[in-house]
Amino acid sequence: MTQNSAIIEILPSPSLSPGELDAMVHVESVCYSPETRYSRETIERYLDWEGSLLVRAKQDHTLAGFQISNVVGGHLITLDVRPEFRRQGIGSEILKTTLSEMRSRGLPYAQCEIAAHNEASILLHRRFGFQTVGNIPNYYEDGSNALLMLLIFPEALRRGPR
């Protein structure tokens, strides 16, 4: 639970209703500019991938935020929190839950690309231990750069290869 009592749900390989998908597309549209947001088709494709994981937060039956990731490759694809639910700990709870799920599956690391101008997301990920390991020029349609961020799970290193 977060500070505002949002409910966090973990949905491996999710099968969503059209209404649930509509809600995700709406949240994506209010979180990102047209040049960087994902389309409905792209969101559906990410959710259909082998190893897809959806972690979402609901508050009073409203989708407050979500994260799509892939637990096969340790890739965090998108983290979205509706503007009216920001600064309440929801993004932190979603990210914490996603990372916990990845750790429990024995992944050695988590990685993500974050728009270089998205200071709030960069700071959030740094609070969880992510480090910037690269810069990807012209990553987005508008020509803006992305930072490649990486979090190594020390327990996976101690355990060794599976």
Q: What is the DSSP letter of 149?
A: E
Residue 1: its pLDDT value, please?
42
Per-residue pLDDT tens over the stretch 72-90: 999 999 999 999 999 999 9
Residue 3 has pLDDT above 70, yes or no: no
Rounded alpha-carbon distances, angstroms, from residue 30 to 52, 81, 82, 96, 115: 23, 9, 7, 23, 16
* Per-residue pLDDT tens over the stretch 31-62: 988 878 899 999 999 999 999 999 999 998 89
DSSP 10-27: EEES----HHHHHHHHHH
- Listed residue (107, 156, 154, 114) closest to 134, CA to CA: 114
At 74-132, the pLDDT tens digits run 999 999 999 999 999 999 999 999 999 999 999 999 999 999 999 999 999 999 999 99
What is the model's pLDDT at position 4?
A: 59
Residue 9 and residue 55 in contact, taking contact as beta carbons nearer than 8 Å: yes
Residues in the chain: 162
Average pLDDT, the chain: 90
pLDDT given at position 161: 56
- How far separated are the first and last CA of the chain, in Å rounded? 32
Task: Check if CATH label 3.40.50.740 holds for domain 7-159.
Answer: no
What is the reported pLDDT for 145?
Answer: 93
Is 23:61 a contact under the CB 8 Å cutoff?
no
Confidence of residue 63 (pLDDT cuts 50, 70, 90): very high
Q: Let me know the angle formed at the C-alpha of 86 by 140 and 16, rounded to the nearest 5 degrees.
A: 70
Which sequence spans correspond to the domains of the chain? 7-159
Element (H, E) at 58: strand 52-59
- Alpha carbon distance 126, 140 (integer Å): 22
Does the model's pTM come out above 0.85? Answer: yes
Instruction: Give the three-class secondary structure for 148.
Output: strand
